[in-house]
Amino acid sequence: MTTAVADPWSGGSGARPAVAASARQLVKAYGSGETRVVALDHVDVDIASGEFTAIMGPSGSGKSTLMHCLAGLDSVTEGRIFVGEQEITGLKDKKLTRLRRDRIGFIFQAYNLLPTLDALENITLPMDIAGRKPDKEWLETVISTVGLHERLRHRPSQLSGGQQQRVAVARALAARPEIIFGDEPTGNLDSRAGAEMLGFLRRSVDELRQTIVMVTHDPVAAAYADRVLYLADGRIVDEMYRPTAEAVLDKMLRLAESTDPGTVTPPAGSAGPAPGGQDGRGVTGVEAVSGGAGRGPDGLAAFGSLDDGFDAFGANGGRP
Amino acid sequence: MTVFKASLRNFFAHKGRMALSAVAVVLSVAFVCGTLVFTDTMNTTFDRLFASTSADVTVSPKKTDGDGSGGRSGKPRTVPASALSEAREADGARSAEGMVSSEQVTVVDGDDKNIGSTTGAPTIAANWTAGDSDTMKITSGHAPRGASEVMVDADTAKKRDLKLGDELRTIATTGDFTARVSGIATFQVTNPGAAIVYFDTATAQRVLLGRTGSYTGIAVTAEKGVTHALLKKNVTASLGAGEYTYQTKKEAADSSREQMGALLDVMKYALLGFAGIALLVGVFLIVNTFSMLVAQRTREIGLMRAVGSSRGQVNRSVLTEALLLGVIGSLLGVGAGVGLAVGLMELMGLLGMNLSTSELTVVWTTPAIGLALGILVTLFAAYLPARRAGRVSPMAALRDAGTPADVKAGAVRAVLGALLTAGGGAALYAATQAEKAAQGSLYLGAGVVLTMLGLIVVGPVLAGGLVRVLSVVTLRPFGGRVGRLAERNALRNPRRTGATAAALMIGLALVASLSVVGSSMVASATKELDRSVGADFIVQSGNGQPITPAVERKLRAAKSLETVTSYKMVAARITTPDGKSGSEQLSATDPSYMKDLRREVKSGDLAAAYDRDSMSVGSAYAEKHGVRTGDKLKVAFAGGRTAELTVAAVTKEETSVDRGAMYTDIATARRHLPEDRVPSSAMMFGSAKDGKEDAAYAALKKELKPYPQYQVRDQADFKETLQDQVGRMLNMVYGLLALAIIVAVLGVVNTLALSVVERTREIGLMRAIGLARRQLRRMIRLESVVIALFGAMLGLGLGMCWGAAAQQLLALEGLNVLQIPWPTIGAVFAGSALVGLVAALVPAFRAGRMNVLNAIATE
């Protein structure tokens, strides 16, 4: 088993902990007995604060499930999840809702906006629901960052898809959540609008120090992130810092090959982790935690590094 | 065929969404069928009753003109004993019996409690004859013998807890008569409620007719092989054709049934009217359901069109689903209708009316009408949505069909609605200005229909403004941002909100208009009483029985009263100078009546109308027949002589009491009527000396205690009674309108439930970004409340206009005070908010339970 765990206290800026969210031994399974399907298999992950993290993986790899669990949208079967220092596993719906409302922002692939509200009302909706007054100055900053001044009084149906997603980003940013989760936020956009959108996300990390976690299957989108986590079969099989689209694509291809039964897995050298510990953002790099304890018979316990893990995973992926 | 299969699958796949529409169809059809079954069963019951109680041939006294009111004009008409022996001699007659019976009686038990029916069925006193044994079996004791014995029917005995030996007092025109219960007889057919007491023939004659040797009718039984028609011919021949009325068993039963049938028909059509209103309200529910199903299925329909379905096929596939809904709903409705009828019969049983389920009558037309009605109405309601489905473009399959934000109400709709409403408003105004009631009602009817249609059409346009106003007042203070979201949701599809509210509007408009008319009625009458009634006390029976001479004498002798007035209704045929003649009822009173009821005259002097052979007429009558003061009218008193009476006064009509009454002195009536044809008094009035009213009132009450059929009321009591009567009537109508309102509330539930499904994604999104369950539920509840209040506002506003117009029209008939019952209106408005809350319970609960992830993932 592989992990992507950072040392929570080794960096960060001031009051905010360096780890915005984390999962420990996270298992999410559906059904039971013969029909049991494991979507997440003892995942350990830390989301560094102030960083743009992308979660990638083939469909069915569990990337959306991981995001939903981290965001308090879905319940977990085993393991613990923390947002900041607070454990959210076991929280009742009421507290979870409040957590989502006050500390988390969302950008979905589509249907992000309420059709009955105009752009501005959509942006301030989470704060309205909470009964809070938006911080005027901040709101102004967010709106100018996403460039929506002209369109604030338009209803979603009067906005283009790209504009709608920008409103969604603004909404997510406006409440100053600790983390923003994006579920394929560019999935419905053409490449230009998508690029624009990712630019906004990137800027909000760089300029507003926002923590963002984005699920995507688009290498180009992933390239905007600081760090890319790769999921396959419910496990984190690799990660990459400071990715480029080519590197991501390359890794994806390898991953696809390696999970293709019967294919011999080449050693994965070039796609090793970027020197994350040196980027000054408080991520110390990746420690591979040996996750063998109590695990199944597939013998994945002994991987000393992510690459090994990846390879081993690939080998394992070839099992019948 | 594939299209049909697709419809079938769609229908069953969405059966949950169809459920409330089906309930609406079931309820309306059940009400229609229940009414039909119930009235048919009543008819069967009465048919059997009348068939079993009618003799093969009945001989009864000839009816004379103006005698229609039965024995009210004095004692019952009779046939002499000689006729009985002649009838016995007739060819083919096996036997003949003299019958003595009267409904002009009140029977009380030892505690002076009336043992008669509480449902308006008569109390009948009769002689016990051999023929009665066919329909009644003596189940305890024995038949009455001699002057001290009386037999009572088992239903009454049971209801009033009467046992053998109990004392019963019969109050008849001839006086009071006390006897002990000697037997109890049980009907062999269902007797819906009449209380019956039997005496032996001599006693019955003495008590009911005041003399022996005559009968109220003769029952002739045919010999074997002699048809009733032949027997009738023979009896007619031996008694003389013009002397009496002869009826075969069938004719007698039919004529009894006709009277009853007319009453039942009124009830039937009233109930069907309410069922019709419910059905109309149901139409809105069905329209909404199909509109929403079509909207939700836009992509699917687009795909069907893209792969080659024609418009017609899409259209038909939706109509096929409607047909299925109609068939299933109607079938269930027919079944439920029979159940409803049984329930109604049980209810009538509780109210004291006996009906037997063994006589439950379901004729083939009942299910046929129910099915046809349910199916046609459903198809009609689904027609527009089906057409809209047909117009879906194949491109819709490709488009991303999210939840539509706002659907704008069209300009055509606004213009058409405004025109209809304005036209209706004009008609209502015309009704208020009408000088003739008939013409005015025509305007009123047109105005009601047009304004209703107009508001239904224009409702969606009004929704924008009114919902905003309502939510400023009601939602924002409670709901904050959630309230605003609710408001936006209510406004997002004005057509849907409009249709949902319109359904509620119809029911509430009727409630409001009737409450306005009802309270105006009470207010007008109260004002009228204050203005015109001078009498301190009014004595009257609660069951239409006239005041017996004994009681009249008692009242006249009362020391506490200064003046006593009798009021008799005298039937007469009046011929006016224009040559026309018609049956009228003269109000023959003592001259003191002028003080008891102050009437204004248009011309002449009312006091002069009490002169010898004088009278007054109402202004409408005077106008119609060109009668003026001083004219002489030919008055043929029923059962008496024809006289010429001088018209001494024409009274004004702007009153609700005694409208159009023709007054004359009792003395004048007596002069032209034989003593035994002078009717008993219908009412009596009394006045006490000033300051002694309370004492007199108490004394009168005590005096009349042995006569529970009479009520003595002072003016305050009288007003209260009036109010109670109007209130009871209104409550009954509200009860019947409740069905339409229930269907309308189901409509609100339906709209909310379907829009929750439609907005699954949105709800998921809001939950994801932090809307608490509680807030979500509140949002849906508030949306429901604002829709309900919108409907209530339209309905109450419209209803008050209708009510006011009706009052203005009825002012012609003395309803001249307009009173808007604000407490009722306010309560209904507040109640609507409550109804909105209740309607949202289930949809809100379901929305709250919705899984956030599934909601987001829903495609």
Partners of residue B127 on adjacent β-strands? B199
Gap between the Cα atoms of B151 and B372, Å rounded: 50
For A140-184, the pLDDT digits (tens) are 888 887 788 888 898 888 888 888 888 988 888 888 889 999 988
Task: Indicate the residue of A68, A97, A108 with minimum beta-carbon distance to B765.
Answer: A108
Asked if pLDDT for residue B403 goes beyond 60, the answer is no
Closest by alpha carbon to A36, among A91, A74, A78, A90? A78
Gap between the Cα atoms of B383 and B389, Å rounded: 10
Asked if pLDDT for residue A277 goes beyond 80, the answer is no
Contact A114 B768 (CB under 8 A): no
Nearest-Cα residue of chain A relative to residue B483: A129
Contact B768 A106 (CB under 8 A): yes
Gap between the Cα atoms of B683 and B491, Å rounded: 60
Do the bridges between strand B614-618 and strand B662-665 make them parallel or antiparallel, or are there none, so unpaired? Answer: unpaired
Gap between the Cα atoms of A222 and B353, Å rounded: 83
Residue B673 identity = L
For B306-355, the pLDDT digits (tens) are 777 888 888 888 899 999 999 999 999 999 999 999 998 888 888 777 78
Q: Which helix (H) or strand (E) holds B643?
A: strand B642-651
Residues 6+ apart with CB under 8 A from B555: B539, B547, B561, B564, B684, B686, B700, B703
Task: Indicate the residue of B403, B769, B856 with minimum beta-carbon distance to A100.
Answer: B769
Domain boundaries, chain B: 1-55+271-401, 63-242, 462-537+714-859, 546-708
Contact A129 B773 (CB under 8 A): no
Q: Can you give the pTM of this predicted structure? A: 0.80
- Return the percentage of chain A with pLDDT > 90, whole number: 13
Nearest-Cα residue of chain A relative to residue B852: A73
User: What pLDDT, on a 0 to 100 scale, did the predictor assign at position A265?
Assistant: 38
- Range B724-741 burial, b when 16+ CB lie within 10 A, else e: eebeeebeebbebbebbb
Q: What is each CA distance from B244 to B60, B232, B793, in whole angstroms?
A: 6, 12, 63
Complex ipTM value: 0.73
Contact B491 A105 (CB under 8 A): no
Contact A114 B767 (CB under 8 A): no
Q: What is the CA radius of gyration of chain B?
A: 33
Q: What is each CA distance from B20 to B26, B28, B384, in whole angstroms?
A: 10, 12, 19
Assign A319 to helix, strand or coil. Answer: coil
Assign B297 to helix, strand or coil. Answer: coil
Q: Which helix (H) or strand (E) holds B685?
A: strand B683-688
What is the pLDDT of chain B when averaged over all its residues? Answer: 87
Helices (H), B537-607: 549-557, 593-596
Distance from CA of A263 to the nearest CA of B (A): 34
Contact B769 A117 (CB under 8 A): no
Mean pLDDT is lowest, of B292-306, B429-443, B755-769, for B292-306
CA A200 to the chain's CA centroid: 16
Do the bridges between strand B106-108 and strand B167-172 make them parallel or antiparallel, or are there none, so unpaired? Answer: antiparallel
Contact A97 B770 (CB under 8 A): yes
Gap between the Cα atoms of B497 and B106, Å rounded: 57
Q: What is each CA distance from A109 to A162, A165, B55, B139, B309, in whole angstroms?
A: 11, 8, 88, 85, 33
Residues of A with CB under 8 A from a CB of B: 68, 71, 73-74, 93-94, 97-98, 100-102, 104-106, 108, 110-117, 125-126, 128-131, 155-157, 171
Asked if pLDDT for residue A1 goes beyond 60, the answer is no
Contact A129 B770 (CB under 8 A): yes
Asked if pLDDT for residue A215 goes beyond 80, the answer is yes
For B590-631, the pLDDT digits (tens) are 999 998 888 888 898 999 999 999 999 998 899 889 899 999
For testing the chain A interface, which of B769, B780, B851, B859 should be mutated: the one with the most A CBs within 10 Å?
B769
For testing the chain B interface, which of A114, A173, A184 should be mutated: the one with the most B CBs within 10 Å?
A114
Q: Give me the architecture of the A3-317 domain, per CATH.
A: 3-Layer(aba) Sandwich (3.40)
For B35-90, the pLDDT digits (tens) are 999 999 988 888 888 888 888 899 988 776 544 444 454 567 888 888 888 888 88
Gap between the Cα atoms of B202 and B212, Å rounded: 6
Task: Indicate the residue of A68, A100, A114 with minimum beta-carbon distance to B853.
Answer: A68
Confidence category of residue A301, pLDDT binned at 50, 70, 90: very low
Q: What is the CA radius of gyration of chain A?
A: 19
Domain boundaries, chain A: 3-317
Task: Indicate the residue of A98, A112, A116 with minimum beta-carbon distance to B765.
Answer: A112
Residues of B in contact with A117 (CB under 8 A): 485, 488
Helices (H), B351-410: 365-390
Q: Which two structure tokens, joined as six digits, stand for B762?
A: 């949105």
User: What pLDDT, on a 0 to 100 scale, did the predictor assign at position B407?
Assistant: 58
Gap between the Cα atoms of A130 and B766, Å rounded: 12
User: What pLDDT, on a 0 to 100 scale, did the predictor assign at position B802?
Assistant: 94
Residues of A in contact with B480 (CB under 8 A): 128, 131
Chains A, B: CB contacts within 8 A come to: 88
Q: Which two structure tokens, joined as six digits, stand for A96?
A: 């979870």
Helix B249-296 to helix B715-758 angle (10° resolution) is 40
Backbone φ and ψ for B521, nearest 5 degrees, come out as -60, -50
Closest by alpha carbon to B534, among B599, B607, B596? B596
